[in-house]
Structure 1
């Protein structure tokens, strides 16, 4: 194929995951990119309900119309305590992947400058004046490229930064008896056997007899599928449920690491989403962070003399996340103790504010001091000493 047949775009997004879709949607909303051509490339056609996103929010956002369910109450539990937590002024919100895809693609279809192609990316090559992108079917060029295709090897083939996985398997079940409180989400139920890890149940109830029940771990290694499923069955049996219908299933693994993916950003190529370190390392939450980062990026793209390498700004919250991950990587069994101390002694509104990275230093210390002291002090010295070497 000669150069005259290679189509050029102002912006290309390789991978159309959550971050890419948020960015393009907000570019449209801004009205500042109507003269710019935008291409999204993904081997997945985005026509399945393949995931669930949840986030807490004080006020309505641009995503309000696709929120499937909101909760004002949350349950936190371990083998000794059960805490019913009032979330106000926050709500905990659930978005189904398929509805989100339909929502953004319907908007994209109204704009002739936005193109989505169901093609697998095979090659990215940055040149001085543009970026070259190859797929199995075609070749393209662009001025700037945003990559959300995650490369596991970048994080997992190094030893400087710990890498855990938030891995889970969930069943959306329908039971004969009404056993769920549809007004209360279960954030973390650590009453399940820990087996030397950080393991908990996560429950999103839709009605008295319908809920998404997920067995979740923050640990290094994944489990056989049968073990997740066995734990979900055992958990339902605790409520006296032996007969139930599985409506849908979902399974995933989200990397939890402070590896500096942004160091691979260049003048014309920006890594975004999980591939850019946008996932909140200490919790695995993706939606809220991507929402914030995508807003910042759309504003950043309006600068003259654009250099994508300048977009990322590291904050002290990255260091806090690194401390927690260092502890959980070395002592994975401490997860229940750490999270229990936060929720048992802490102010939930302050915890949410801290996880949203909106606290000041005094508020930071109020949260951190609720955690077990010795593991964090040890991690502080270990991380500081190691990073000075």
Structure 2
């Protein structure tokens, strides 16, 4: 006897997206019993955060966007800024609170959907399903049996990899006294920040109005900074690099995203699957996750509604994962300068094509053409080196996707 047909563990982007699609079956197909199990407010449930992605206008989440931009800008360490038009794509931002409310409305309208608040301690396979064991808000034991379980919780440790970096960041929502921002232009990477000895850093600015923006300081490196270091970097960037006048901080967010060429098993049991970052949805070279989560959840829901085994598909192609492995190794080894690398790509490749490339949507011929705008010899040397490198397990714990 099962309590639910499908249990989704975790109420982040991956879990909510899958529940959203499972509760929208094709006409004539009944809505399955879906139970979302999410942690209570506290350390296991992150505060409101930001997810960004790119697609054309008229997307299914456009009604809950916090903002979107039709121009993207990259600042090299020196020289003029590069501004690109990604049309017909737009760069979009959704806040997790608005997204959760949207999904909540769909779940509330589905007669067989429900949400359970509990800290999940164990997911144990059964002969024809799985059992979830945890602790509820008042300390009571929670047991839930399901035919299928999709687990989006962060892994306790990252799998073995040849290269593992972190994309870690701290962001401030700021409000200025003067109009300081162009609401139509997002700054994806501003490399005028002091560069760390190992890795790279950049500013990231998403304007919400002429007076408001989310401003982040981001590093690709081996370990996160302490809060005081992020605050110093943000103050320097806002005052010395951007030259902003008086401003006040209205909110903040912080996160760390794994950038690794590890292999993420998507199956944890006969009827237990991993999704989201735990299932390999994070793009190793950029940290972007939200768009891949949507592709993955669409495929899972489509398979389920057709009566097939709903195994999560790979979020990124084998070719994309190989290219990412090469880039991560070249960055980590110091063979390429990260700021020059990304600036060169935006200088030499049309913005729309580059975004499709970063999303794994380009053809082989386009990939080869884009590769000519990278440091070819260091990249080829890294390609030759990869097969000889041993995969090792990082000592750092895995991190859940947060803001990309």
TM (norm. structure 2) is: 0.88
1:284 corresponding residue in structure 2? 287
1:140 corresponding residue in structure 2? 144
Gaps of 5+ in 1: none
1:232 corresponding residue in structure 2? 234
Aligned 8 A contact 1:198 1:332 in 2: no
1:194-273 equivalent positions in 2, closer than 5 A: 194-196=195-197, 197-238=199-240, 239-241=242-244, 243-262=246-265, 264-273=267-276
Distance 1:100 1:49, change over 3 A: farther
Aligned-residue CA RMSD (Å): 2.2
2:166 corresponding residue in structure 1? 165
1:297 corresponding residue in structure 2? 300
1:20 corresponding residue in structure 2? 15
- SS for the counterpart of 2:122 is strand
1:1-389 equivalent positions in 2, closer than 5 A: 8-31=3-26, 34-44=30-40, 50-81=48-79, 82-136=81-135, 137-155=141-159, 158=160, 160-196=161-197, 197-238=199-240, 239-241=242-244, 243-262=246-265, 264-304=267-307, 306=309, 308=311, 311-312=313-314, 314-331=317-334, 334-386=337-389
Q: Give 1:48 shift.
A: 8.2
Distance 2:19 2:359 in 1: 23
Distance 2:269 2:337 in 1: 38
Aligned 8 A contact 2:7 2:37 in 1: yes
Q: Give 1:221 shift.
A: 0.8
Aligned 8 A contact 2:170 2:217 in 1: yes
Per-residue CA deviation, residues 186-243 of structure 1 (Å, 9 max, x unaligned), is 0000011112221000000111221110000111111111111111111111343353
- Greater relative contact order structure (CA < 8 Å, 6+ sep): 2
Q: Give 1:263 shift.
A: 5.6
Aligned 8 A contact 2:167 2:287 in 1: yes
Per-residue CA deviation, residues 45-74 of structure 1 (Å, 9 max, x unaligned), is 599861011111123221111112111111
Q: Give 1:34 shift.
A: 3.1
2:401 corresponding residue in structure 1? none
Per-residue CA deviation, residues 57-93 of structure 1 (Å, 9 max, x unaligned), is 1232211111121111111002223112122111111
Distance 1:74 1:35, change over 3 A: closer
Q: Give 1:311 shift.
A: 3.8
Q: Give 1:264 shift.
A: 4.5
Aligned 8 A contact 2:13 2:96 in 1: no
Aligned 8 A contact 2:51 2:94 in 1: yes
Distance 2:121 2:63 in 1: 35
